[in-house]
Amino acid sequence: MARDTSDTTPLTTRAELIAWFAEGEKPRDQFAIGTEHEKIPFYRESRGPVPYAGEHGIRALLEDLARETGWEPIVDTGNIIGLAGAEGGAISIEPGGQFELSGAPLPDVHATARELQMHLDAAARAAEPHGIGFLTLGMSPKWTREETPVMPKSRYRIMAGYMPKVGTLGLDMMLRTATVQVNVDFCSEADMARKMRASLALQPVATALFANSPFTDGRPNGFLSRRSEIWRDTDGDRTGMLPEAFQPGFGYETYVDWLLDMPMYFVKRGDTYHDVSGASFRDLMAGKLPQLPGEYATVSDWANHASTAFPEVRLKRFLEMRGSDVGGPAMIAAQAAFWTGLLYDEGALDAALDLAKGWSEAEREAVRATVPRLGLATPVAGRSLGQVAAEALAIARSGLQARARRDAAGRDETAYLQPLEAIVAAGRTHAEDRLADYEGAWRRSVAPAFETCVF
């Protein structure tokens, strides 16, 4: 997230919190796709991490990228921490220096693929004089947590102080992981609920297909998606499979109540982030927050609080798919195609819901717990997740065919699914390919990843 919301309109009732989500509804003909991805920067010569300060640090890279793109700098306490584009896109830095592109809302996967390539080209031009490259892995493969630089962003300081109180791996999540996410729209509360259920149930399928974080501290870590496993011990109050979404009557109200039960991180007033970690949003609404007595909740506070929830699928004024490791450009576009195909055609959405409708809460939780280690081999309801993935991809393909969005060459969006279909056909994730490299051509070293696994 590049920039916190700024809206001082007071919020005094629970109904207003519910209405904030409902205001995200869009007509079907205005549905868009927003694609976000993080990538870990490194110095090509030393294969070391990139600090914020210095002639060739993250700050200098952001300043050069601002000149390259014409995007507006975003500043936090005097430090440039991101860039904002005129069309709704943004660049931000994650706590360990991960570079994130939050793409603009775009009409189809063709457009998001073009946006991605334009960004990668601009980032490469800005990074080249600094000797900086970017990894296509879901976790930094070599540096320890202590070796990883920390970016000077106010909300991250608050999160870093709170994370060790609620889990053992939150700092690893912040500093050493990289993900790809897709944001999709909904037209009504019922449409949101259907998409939430389908995408939550099938999020482990995406985790398996995109598994790409098998190394930590210079060696195999025992997982195909260590990034996904890290989220299981980050903060149980704000992560997970959101079982509430599968209860009868799930809608905005249920999600609001879940958020109200979730402890806060911060309250922003002006340019200052006030640490209220562990506090209740209900107290803020009542003006009884112990850390800020007499302060009352605003729309900005609610939007910022919603942005600090991290379930496998997050509701804001859109739905955000959160289960996947980042990969190369083709995999980033494939992520957009996968969820667009499953969720933006009614027939495909029906089929996606049917695919997982027999799974119990216990089965969904077991799949989520197992998939980081076993990937496509994860068992579910008497089948392998690889078999489910094959069916999910066929459904996504049919959904994209029904959309019939074509590029200038007449190709529809199904072409972007090919990397995923190849993974299912081979029965091997990218993580397993990299582990084979490690045992073979890489001679049990992760150093070649800094040449092989790069944008």
| Both structure tokens of 134 | 């970017």
Place of tokens 């936090």: 76
What pLDDT, on a 0 to 100 scale, did the predictor assign at position 87? 87
Chain centre distance of CA 407 = 26
Contact present, 213 and 156 (Cβ < 8 Å): no
Place of tokens 């109904």: 15
What pLDDT, on a 0 to 100 scale, did the predictor assign at position 6? 78
Kindly tell me if the per-residue pLDDT of 204 is higher than 80: yes
What value does the mean pLDDT take over residues 434-446? 98
What pLDDT, on a 0 to 100 scale, did the predictor assign at position 1? 52
pLDDT digits (tens, 9 = 90+) for 256-280: 999 999 999 999 999 999 999 999 9
Secondary structure, 3-state, 183-199: EECCCCHHHHHHHHHHH
DSSP state of 104: P
Cβ-based neighbours of 175, under 8 Å, separated by 6 or more: 95, 96, 145, 148, 150
| Both structure tokens of 340 | 């667009």
What pLDDT, on a 0 to 100 scale, did the predictor assign at position 258? 98
In angstroms, the CA 5 to CA 305 distance is 10
Q: What is the DSSP string of 210-271?
A: T--B-EETTEE-S-SBHHHHHHTTT-TTTEE--GGGGSTT-SHHHHHHHHHHSPP-EEEETT
What pLDDT, on a 0 to 100 scale, did the predictor assign at position 86? 85
| Both structure tokens of 414 | 């199904």
| Residue 233: count of CB within 10 angstroms of its CB | 15
E strands in 358-419: 379-380, 383-384
pLDDT digits (tens, 9 = 90+) for 100-125: 999 999 999 999 999 999 999 999 99
Chain centre distance of CA 119 = 18
Contact present, 413 and 339 (Cβ < 8 Å): no
In angstroms, the CA 372 to CA 14 distance is 37
| Bridging pattern class, strands 379-380 and 310-311 | unpaired
In angstroms, the CA 212 to CA 193 distance is 29
In angstroms, the CA 384 to CA 401 distance is 26
pLDDT digits (tens, 9 = 90+) for 277-301: 999 999 999 999 999 999 999 999 9
* Residue in 97, 352, 340, 367 with CA at minimum distance from that of residue 228: 367
pLDDT digits (tens, 9 = 90+) for 149-190: 999 999 999 999 999 999 999 999 999 999 999 999 999 999
| Both structure tokens of 80 | 């440039």
Kindly tell me if the per-residue pLDDT of 3 is higher than 70: no
Which amino acid would we find at residue 110? Answer: H
Categorize the per-residue pLDDT at 374 as very low, low, confident or very high, splitting at 50, 70 and 90: very high
Kindly tell me if the per-residue pLDDT of 67 is higher than 60: yes
Q: What angle do CA 361, 232, 171 make, to 5 degrees?
A: 160
Per the DSSP assignment, residues forming a β-bridge with 75 are 80
* Mean of all residue pLDDT scores within the chain: 97
Kindly tell me if the per-residue pLDDT of 309 is higher than 60: yes
What pLDDT, on a 0 to 100 scale, did the predictor assign at position 2? 56
Q: Name the more confident of 262 and 86.
A: 262
Which amino acid would we find at residue 362? Answer: A
In angstroms, the CA 93 to CA 202 distance is 29
E strands in 85-224: 90-93, 99-102, 132-135, 179-184, 215-216, 219-220
Residue 229, CB-side half-sphere exposure with 13 Å CA sphere? 19
Report the SS3 class of residue 374: helix
Which amino acid would we find at residue 175? Answer: L
pLDDT digits (tens, 9 = 90+) for 224-244: 999 999 999 999 999 999 999
What pLDDT, on a 0 to 100 scale, did the predictor assign at position 153? 95
Name the helix (H) or strand (E) containing 35: strand 33-43
Q: What is the pTM of this model?
A: 0.97
Number of DSSP helices (H) and strands (E) in the chain, helices first: 17, 17
Q: Is 303 left (phi over 0), alpha (psi -120 to 50) or beta?
A: alpha
In angstroms, the CA 370 to CA 368 distance is 6
